[in-house]
Amino acid sequence: MTPTEASRLLDAFARGETTRDEVLRRFQAAPVADLGFASVDLHRELRQGCPEVIFGAGKTPAQVTAIAQKIVQASGRVLVTRITPAHVRPFQRKFPRAKYHEAARLLAVGPTPKPQGLVAVVCAGTSDLPVAEEAAITAEFLGARVRRVFDVGVAGLHRLLARLPEIQEAKVVIVVAGMEAALPSVLGGLVSRPLIGVPTSVGYGSNLGGFTALLGMLNSCATGLTVVNIDNGFGAGFAASRINALAAD
Amino acid sequence: MTPTEASRLLDAFARGETTRDEVLRRFQAAPVADLGFASVDLHRELRQGCPEVIFGAGKTPAQVTAIAQKIVQASGRVLVTRITPAHVRPFQRKFPRAKYHEAARLLAVGPTPKPQGLVAVVCAGTSDLPVAEEAAITAEFLGARVRRVFDVGVAGLHRLLARLPEIQEAKVVIVVAGMEAALPSVLGGLVSRPLIGVPTSVGYGSNLGGFTALLGMLNSCATGLTVVNIDNGFGAGFAASRINALAAD
Amino acid sequence: MTPTEASRLLDAFARGETTRDEVLRRFQAAPVADLGFASVDLHRELRQGCPEVIFGAGKTPAQVTAIAQKIVQASGRVLVTRITPAHVRPFQRKFPRAKYHEAARLLAVGPTPKPQGLVAVVCAGTSDLPVAEEAAITAEFLGARVRRVFDVGVAGLHRLLARLPEIQEAKVVIVVAGMEAALPSVLGGLVSRPLIGVPTSVGYGSNLGGFTALLGMLNSCATGLTVVNIDNGFGAGFAASRINALAAD
Amino acid sequence: MTPTEASRLLDAFARGETTRDEVLRRFQAAPVADLGFASVDLHRELRQGCPEVIFGAGKTPAQVTAIAQKIVQASGRVLVTRITPAHVRPFQRKFPRAKYHEAARLLAVGPTPKPQGLVAVVCAGTSDLPVAEEAAITAEFLGARVRRVFDVGVAGLHRLLARLPEIQEAKVVIVVAGMEAALPSVLGGLVSRPLIGVPTSVGYGSNLGGFTALLGMLNSCATGLTVVNIDNGFGAGFAASRINALAAD
Amino acid sequence: MTPTEASRLLDAFARGETTRDEVLRRFQAAPVADLGFASVDLHRELRQGCPEVIFGAGKTPAQVTAIAQKIVQASGRVLVTRITPAHVRPFQRKFPRAKYHEAARLLAVGPTPKPQGLVAVVCAGTSDLPVAEEAAITAEFLGARVRRVFDVGVAGLHRLLARLPEIQEAKVVIVVAGMEAALPSVLGGLVSRPLIGVPTSVGYGSNLGGFTALLGMLNSCATGLTVVNIDNGFGAGFAASRINALAAD
Amino acid sequence: MTPTEASRLLDAFARGETTRDEVLRRFQAAPVADLGFASVDLHRELRQGCPEVIFGAGKTPAQVTAIAQKIVQASGRVLVTRITPAHVRPFQRKFPRAKYHEAARLLAVGPTPKPQGLVAVVCAGTSDLPVAEEAAITAEFLGARVRRVFDVGVAGLHRLLARLPEIQEAKVVIVVAGMEAALPSVLGGLVSRPLIGVPTSVGYGSNLGGFTALLGMLNSCATGLTVVNIDNGFGAGFAASRINALAAD
Amino acid sequence: MTPTEASRLLDAFARGETTRDEVLRRFQAAPVADLGFASVDLHRELRQGCPEVIFGAGKTPAQVTAIAQKIVQASGRVLVTRITPAHVRPFQRKFPRAKYHEAARLLAVGPTPKPQGLVAVVCAGTSDLPVAEEAAITAEFLGARVRRVFDVGVAGLHRLLARLPEIQEAKVVIVVAGMEAALPSVLGGLVSRPLIGVPTSVGYGSNLGGFTALLGMLNSCATGLTVVNIDNGFGAGFAASRINALAAD
Amino acid sequence: MTPTEASRLLDAFARGETTRDEVLRRFQAAPVADLGFASVDLHRELRQGCPEVIFGAGKTPAQVTAIAQKIVQASGRVLVTRITPAHVRPFQRKFPRAKYHEAARLLAVGPTPKPQGLVAVVCAGTSDLPVAEEAAITAEFLGARVRRVFDVGVAGLHRLLARLPEIQEAKVVIVVAGMEAALPSVLGGLVSRPLIGVPTSVGYGSNLGGFTALLGMLNSCATGLTVVNIDNGFGAGFAASRINALAAD
């Protein structure tokens, strides 16, 4: 049972639209798989609205695989984010058809929904690629059609302008940039769709592990731009797919 | 000419779809009103996609009024943000029908478009009201139907749950919170639409002028949440109206 | 002689309730075991009120074992915190019955007092487990009955509500959370006992090594909440056992 | 209805111990006084467990007085924190017997409960007095007996030692200190009860508005010490009265 | 005697090209005007290479005027930076032909050198004008021809491109920008001359008093860009005039 | 009784060199003047080793005057630091011979000891004068001979070199500097006595209220240099007079 | 096609000085070598104005070598910055005449232009050497004559003075310093040419990874000084060579 | 020639007390040993006033040994600070009688001067030992008699009081402490000699790598206390030996 379902259930009860017995039955039937080291239901909730996603960082390969099995049994598909190379082989032994996205540090199992809408993922430099790919594959896993426009930093403005028509067709644009992160400000003046900025930790010296890019995006004069945490490609891909889904409703 | 139009024009030229003369004519005809102290076109671009908005902070009453006149002549309506009380009377002398939103520090002139979709503006405490109102009125000015759900901080959870069905109907939810900003995390687990978090500078001691709330939102475990700058109600209202418009397309 | 005893002794002398000779005799008899690299008495005082605890970090396995021997000789039991795996085997060679709490990075020797009262240790995610266990085992070592309620982050609110009655029975509640640390704020509105927040360094990007969680807890709108240092499970367990002991007096 | 009552009610329903109609009746009967600018119930929840407290900062004198009237009608007493001098006269016109604590920036109406237990409020210097008084009066308002031990900073150690027996009798000790905040560390080695540290913004230069004192307390080698936000005397008084109440149960 | 002259004098002596007596005579003849509250020579050195500039902040009107008189007697001209309105009238009473640059907070006396070379001063928004003017007038006072290109922030890219040819003619470009300061990054890709970035404190929320703009410029991917302190228009104008002078040598 | 006397007394008792009765008699006779709002003894201890100094900031004129009277009665002299202009007249009404040091924000009453040794107080610019004077007058009040060498910032190196012999005669050198605080590094290579650095809050932009100068001094490559808090002229004067006194012993 | 060329081309078209066909032909002929993992043209733009430079950090040896081949084919020479030792052998296998600058972490291929002008690279200590060499070799690669003046920190002032005449001959001076970075302030008072400061991360404790040096340089009282990012020797060398080229025009 | 000698020489020349030829002869005779990778004279100046000290960090074993040889040839003794274990064996091969202080990370060669005066080195915990030993051995190398008083943190106050008489005999006291660094504040109230605080990076969580201890010391209410950089035992030992030498003059 997702939190939304839980709260709707309580709400229905409050309006008298369901019975006490039904509420209790539903709560007890909630498919929580207790694995000792983790409550699978919890991890689905951590990624609420998207029960098929496991946050791999800080979990052993055995833990990730065991949780994934429970989820695949229930829903037929799963996405694992922030994995390390050590997770891959044990995972693929259990799920031989799992797809390993090395750059994006992702593992995916199961069929992908029919793509709809269009999310553009734009990044400034090659160093931003892992974060951009994490965003792109997450959005694809959640049902969005994705267009990648990479390596278009503002230092070479004519390259960005050349790709602009492709970007302008998207329903929502993810902009990934490190260093001083000027790309979202420029792009914000050129497209009329929602933009989601992802600051990356790319840089050195006073880049402050990505804080310089984060602050730059938060203070951008571009309108329509909102921001996620540093290097949080998953969060941007998730939010973008929600917005994209709105357009397709 | 908006930047988008400008770049599309150049693009069309590159594809041979328009002539040199047409490009030059369009550029020269761009409705830039030079007032000496300000180029009105600039201010429209500062708020790109929404040429009717003036950022009032740091401008004298006379400047604001003069810029507003140019915009109203061109498009029949205008919104002024971050005004001080000193701006109001000179403005209303020129625009007797202007509406002054005191809490939100906004002045608005002209007809409002027919509201469409639904944006929920949720805030945690009464001190967050000015920022929440800035977000709400901006979204209304840009064509969104807005529902206000105020004073529902997580310290009194049952009050938030009581208003949840109203929130869940919205296409996009703006969440305004100061102090530790726990509300977006809780709400993120209860709705399945895009959320935009607005940290406020409300608090004292180690709230760091709103940075504590900003960091809390950026590190939220809630998915589907993106964030704008501290106290930036206008930015949230603008981004939300864009997302809301997608749903209505 | 603990500091409290020392100051009480001086105080008694000042009131004429003890003699000069008695004061001198007591001071000279203070059981300080000088090991060269460390004064065991000091370490007891570092953990004042709880002479049986050794802070393992930065001490060699041989040092930890030698200090522990002195303490066990004097009081029959000892707790070692923040150990590394390299400490375990040398320690267990000397204390074959020592219990090794791997997740909590603790070693314990000797009988546990009869548990009294009730301390609830609540944590938001599995990554917070090591800190939560350090708090729980510390409180148990110091005589508290402990109830663990793990994996109940606010993103899945219904799970927290389901465990609420168990939490509400405790005399004092320890809340362990990383990332944006919204759990203490929500819990603070649902229980009427003292709460102790432990921010953890779990997270990435702008989590600032746990500072985001720390600031969130310090600025929480929840009343009755006090806070310890980042990842300081020991400190929370110690303070909670003191509060719990008050209730049992 | 307090949040605790609300959650207990839902819980009782889940166990079948109450009926749907009773739940609905209770919710509708919740004494929320809607004043337009504020929902009085919200403010009670903001201070959960203590519905009689109003946070005065950011509210007009008229608002504070109106909210206070609703609370006094319901419960016979109220405490207002963080008031400015401008709040006092309008408040006293409505509540002629209201007591104004100038140093602590508090207004109190109604009878005080019979004092129980003992909370010691210790501060390092005269500049810390407003925060110490806020803590002391809050704890008294909530039913604790309070002993003030002021001006005992560590630079004059013999003065602290002279007052130690008075401090050691308390069930819980609040320690208020600014600058480098060494007092809690020294006191932590001399008492065996829970300590709550309140860093103050007193100081200049690199005191960072109280952050230096806050960091000092969080990193204190003293055990049994927990901390609240900078200058948060109310929070310390509230938490201390809860701990004190435990001892008296 | 300027520091450069002093060091050259010592150097000449070390090479035997001048005598001890000459060195002593020159040192004693150094035109230091001791005014009690200030050593005028010091202030010239504070602005080394440009003895005619007084830093007005923190000096009384009488002090500024007295120092200016000494300098004008010696060299016929003077520039005063960072003045407040209170400095103006006393100054103009003594120097009736003094020119007051209100926006730039400058006072200037005496003839301007024949302009040479070309310095472009570009700024992003109207709020950056005072800093941009301080840079422009300083460069003019030091002998540079200056071209102002204001209000060309990247949110309206076509306006910047329209002014590009004017900017590209300059020997050195000063770029003034607040908020996220994306303009230098874009401009750095479009001109091939040295650029000097001046971050301004314009903005709000997480702009950190100009630090966000400063960090953005320091981490810019644009080459050829160097940076001065926040709001330091004088420093940029001074450095630019030195570079401009190189081109004219 | 000063803390040092108190601890020596206890120590003497522990060695059997004094009697219980003597200890008690001495403690009771400790000249603590309780004024209600302040314990004068406390303030002497706050400035331990120097009982005649009152920290004026945050005290009303009446409080400062009352405390000063008690001290002057006991020891014939007093120094008050960090006063505001409002303190002066009430103070001088009571102490007509009090000397008011306006720049240094000090009030002094009573005879000055015969000066001994030599403390040099060196500062970089005129804006550093108030802090430099606070240091100089404090050292004089505490018995040191003081030589002022002002306005010798490193931008005009020959001026510093010209005054070097005067500085090299001192027993200890106080160096006061704001902005980037390069002076202590240069001076540290030119004198062989202890140096005490006082960073000042002079500057703007990224000077961070004096933190830039503080960090510069702490990281100086000069040996023999130690540092006090930002703008803490009193602390530097106090420490320097202690070091100077050592040389004179 | 460089960005400057691109923008000039568009500009020429806008003025009617070139035809549509010519614009299209030029754009299509832009020598972008798509290698899959990188667009070589992008990397040239990242270093705009200097297409021969590859930023090696974060690229595999194979990637660096492949990109270098494309650039050498086009322009006969290339510079690679921020390489690791692992890059060297694969690179030299392909380019046997490549020169490896180990200290500066650079690889260079092809003929060096005839040196012109003079850039002085001054550094404070031996630990600053890698950054100083990166600056020096970059400037040489871009056509400047370079003079190295190393190990002249202000702690040993006479050594700096001894080398001063050599420094004063340069057209532009790069000053590299870590720790408190006092050298630029001293040098700024002794030379009359543009200075570029490069803060280094050399130091420990409160050096904050170079931020202390960076802040020191930004707040320097020296005029004519501008600053680049921490450890950014390449940026300083690039900017200096541009300024040096101006002098040679 | 030390910098002091150099400046005195220049000064003598300026007063006509020495001849040009003598100055030149003296400068040319300055014993600068150029080793290619380092100018030995520089390193002596880096540690001005103490030419026998080499900062080992960042130098290879071969470099350290070579520099040491030059210094030992000239002055018969040398101290090397901040060495790594890899430096030891090559060093001892060349200097078989070198003494290796492992905890303090120091190597020393040559006779120690006859100890004079008394420096107390006090530290709070065993983890502070390496820094305390670096301070102690440095002071001994520079001629001071040193008394170590370790493990006397304020959590066990009676232990500190027991050692107080030993501390009070010193001419100058070095206080080494990490975490919240309360020890200097307590000690400052108990001794009347100069104190030098050394904050250490010991701790975790919000200790900020020693910044918490540094800020605590800078804001200490104790008078007579000055501070050096985090973990800078050498700097404290150097400054203390200078002060101690004053007392012995």
Residues H169-209 have pLDDT tens digits of 999 999 999 998 999 999 998 898 999 999 999 888 899 99
Report which residue type is found at A114. K
How far is the C-alpha of A186 from the C-alpha of A191, rounded, in Å? 9
Residues E45, F126: C-beta atoms closer than 8 Å: no
- Residues of chain A with Cβ-Cβ distance to G7 below 8 Å are 157-158
Judged by CB atoms closer than 8 Å, whether chains meet at B204 and D230 is answered as yes
How many Cβ pairs within 8 Å bridge chains A and E?
Answer: 111
Q: What is the largest CA-CA distance in chain G?
A: 65
Does the pLDDT at position G52 exceed 80? no
User: What is the layout of strands, in order, in the sheet containing B116-123?
Assistant: A144-149, A116-123, A172-177, A195-199, A225-227, B225-227, B195-199, B172-177, B116-123, B144-149
Pairing of strands F195-199, F225-227: parallel
Q: How many CB atoms lie within 10 A of CB H32?
A: 16
Task: Classify the C-alpha dihedral E90-E93-E95-E98 as positive or negative.
Answer: positive
- pLDDT by residue (tens digit) across A100-137? 999 899 999 998 889 999 999 999 987 898 999 999 99
Least confident among B65-69, B117-121, D39-43, E197-201: D39-43
Stretch H141-167: mean pLDDT, rounded? 88
Size of interface E-F (CB pairs under 8 A): 56
d(CA G215, CA F219): 12
Which of B151, B202, B205 is facing D42, going by the closest CB pair? B151
Encoded amino acid at D174, one letter: I
Chain B interface residues (partner D, CB cutoff 8 A) = 125-127, 151-153, 155-159, 162, 202, 204-206
Pairwise CB contact (< 8 Å): C46 & H158: no
Confidence at residue A36, expressed as pLDDT on a 0 to 100 scale: 43
User: Do H134 and H237 meet the contact criterion of CB atoms below 8 Å apart?
Assistant: yes
DSSP B34: B
Q: Of residues F234 and H37, which shows the higher confidence score?
A: F234
Q: What percent of chain D has pLDDT over 70?
A: 80
Nearest alpha-carbon partner for H202 in G42, G162, C82: C82
On chain B, the residues whose CB falls within 8 A of the CB of G20 are: 13, 16, 20
pLDDT of H103 above 50? yes
User: In sequence order, what DSSP letters do the residues of B68-102 get, joined into one string?
Assistant: HHHHHHHHS-EEEES--HHHHHHHHHH-TT-EEET
Q: What pLDDT is recorded for position H238? A: 95
Mean pLDDT throughout G93-103? 94
Residue with tokens 């160096």: F175
- The residue that leads in pLDDT, E181 or C19, is E181
Question: Are D204 and D99 spatial neighbours (Cβ–Cβ below 8 Å)?
Answer: no
Query: Does residue E174 carry a pLDDT above 90?
Result: yes
Do H219 and D179 count as a contact with CB atoms less than 8 A apart? Answer: yes
Amino acid making up residue A100? Y
Q: Are F41 and F70 a contacting pair, CB within 8 Å?
A: no
**Backbone CA torsion sign across E123, F207, E66, E45:** negative
Report chain C residues touching chain H, CB-CB < 8 A: 1, 3, 6-7, 27, 37-39, 41-42, 44-46, 48, 57-59, 201, 210-211, 214, 229-232
In which band, very low, low, confident or very high, does the pLDDT at D46 lie, cut at 50, 70 and 90?
Answer: very low
Identify which of C160-174, D145-159, G42-56 has the greatest average pLDDT: C160-174
Residue B21: pLDDT band (50, 70, 90) is low
pLDDT at position E130 is: 92
Q: Is D32 exposed, middle or buried (0-12, 13-18, 19+ CB in 10 A)?
A: middle
Contact G42 A159 (CB under 8 A): yes
Band the pLDDT of C11: cuts 50, 70, 90. Answer: low
D165 — pLDDT class (breaks 50, 70, 90): confident
Cα D99 to Cα D106: distance, rounded to the nearest angstrom: 8
- Chain E partners (3+ C-beta pairs within 8 A): A, B, F, G, H
Q: Which of G16, G24, G27 sits opposite B20 (nearest CB)?
A: G16
What is the average pLDDT across A37-49?
A: 43
Q: For B178-210, what is each residue's pLDDT tens digit?
A: 998 999 999 998 898 999 999 999 888 899 999
Distance from CA of H239 to the nearest CA of F (A): 4
Bridge partner residues of A146 (DSSP): A119
- The pLDDT score that the predictor gives to residue B48 is 44
Any bridge partners for residue D55, and if so which?
Answer: D81
Mean pLDDT value of segment C229-233? 97
Q: CA H150 → CA A146, C56, H69, H123, distances in Å? A: 64, 19, 35, 5
Question: Is residue H49 within 8 Å of residue F224, measured between CB atoms?
Answer: yes
Q: Which residue of A has its CA nearest to B45?
A: A189
Q: Which residues in E lie closer than 8 A to residue F152 (C-beta atoms)? A: 42
pLDDT higher than threshold 70 for residue B38: no
Which position has the higher pLDDT, F16 or E30? F16
Residues of D in contact with F201 (CB under 8 A): 205
Which stretches in chain F have pLDDT values below 50?
A: 1-3, 24, 27-32, 34, 36, 39, 41-49
Shortest distance, CA D235 to any CA of chain H (angstroms): 21
List Cα–Cα distances, F99 to A76, F90, F115, F141, G103, in angstroms.
87, 13, 18, 12, 62
pLDDT in tens, H54-102: 888 877 898 889 889 988 888 889 999 999 999 999 999 999 999 999 9
Q: Which of A68-72, A174-178, A231-235, E231-235 has the lowest mean pLDDT?
A: A68-72
Instruction: Kindly report the nearest CA distance between residue D212 and chain B, in angstroms.
Output: 11
Distance from CA of G216 to the nearest CA of A (A): 14
pLDDT in tens, E34-90: 454 554 543 343 334 455 688 888 778 988 898 899 888 888 899 999 999 999 999
The partner residues of E148 in beta bridges, in order of sequence, read E121
How far F210 CA sits from the closest chain C CA (Å)? Answer: 24
Q: Is the CB of residue B193 less than 8 Å from the CB of residue B212?
A: no
Q: Mark yes or no for CB contact A215/E206 under 8 Å.
A: yes
Q: What is the pLDDT of residue F18?
A: 75
| pLDDT tier, E30 (very low <50, low <70, confident <90, very high otherwise) | very low
Residue of B2, B226, B243 to mutate, interface with A, max A Cβ within 10 Å: B226
How large is the average pLDDT for residues G122-141? 92
Instruction: Say which residue the tokens 């020269």 belong to.
Output: B28
Q: Retrieve residue A26's tokens.
A: 């539903």
ipTM of the complex: 0.85
> How many CA atoms within 13 Å lie on the side-chain side of G170?
31
Task: Say what the pLDDT of residue C112 is.
Answer: 84
Token pair of F208, please? Answer: 């961070």
Query: CB of G44 within 8 A of CB of G67?
Result: no
Is F204 in Cβ contact with E230 (below 8 Å)? yes
Phi, psi for residue A118 in degrees, rounded to 5: -160, 125
The token pair at C228 is: 């310890």
First to last CA, chain E: 23
Chains touching C (3+ CB pairs < 8 Å): A, B, D, F, H
Mean pLDDT of the region A55-73: 86
Q: Given a cut of 80, is residue G43 above it in pLDDT?
A: no
> A-chain residues within 8 Å CB-CB of C206?
210-211, 214, 229-230
Give the predicted TM-score (pTM) of the model: 0.88
In the predicted model, is pLDDT for residue D67 greater than 80?
yes
Most confident of A145-154, C119-128, D20-29, E232-241: E232-241
> What is the C-alpha separation between G208 and H113, in angstroms, rounded?
37
* Strand pairing category for D78-81 and D106-109: antiparallel
Q: Residues of C near F (CB-CB distance < 8 A)?
A: 10, 13-14, 16, 19-20, 23-24, 27
Helices (H), ranges, C76-182: 85-94, 129-141, 157-168
Cα-Cα-Cα-Cα dihedral sign, residues H90, H91, H92, H94: positive
- Mutation target among E28, E45, E50, E134 for the F interface, most CBs of F within 10 A: E45
Helix (H, G, I), strand (E, B) or coil at G201: coil
Q: In whole angstroms, what is the distance from residue D187 CA to residue D154 CA? A: 9
Residue D51 has pLDDT above 60, yes or no: no
**CA–CA gap between residue C228 and residue C132 (Å, rounded):** 13
Burial class for D73, CB neighbours closer than 10 Å (0-12, 13-18, 19+): exposed
Segment of D72-76, E60-64, G208-212 carrying the highest mean pLDDT: G208-212
CB-nearest to C39 from H151, H158, H206 is H151
Closest residue of chain H to F245, computed from CA coordinates = H247
**At residue H26, does pLDDT exceed 70?**
no
> Which of D39, D47, D55 to probe by mutation at the B interface, max B CB count within 10 Å?
D39
Q: Chain C partners of D164 at a C-beta cutoff of 8 Å?
A: 7, 11
CA nearest to F128 within chain E: E58
Contact in structure between B164 and B182 (CB atoms under 8 Å): no
Q: Do C190 and D226 touch (CB under 8 A)?
A: no
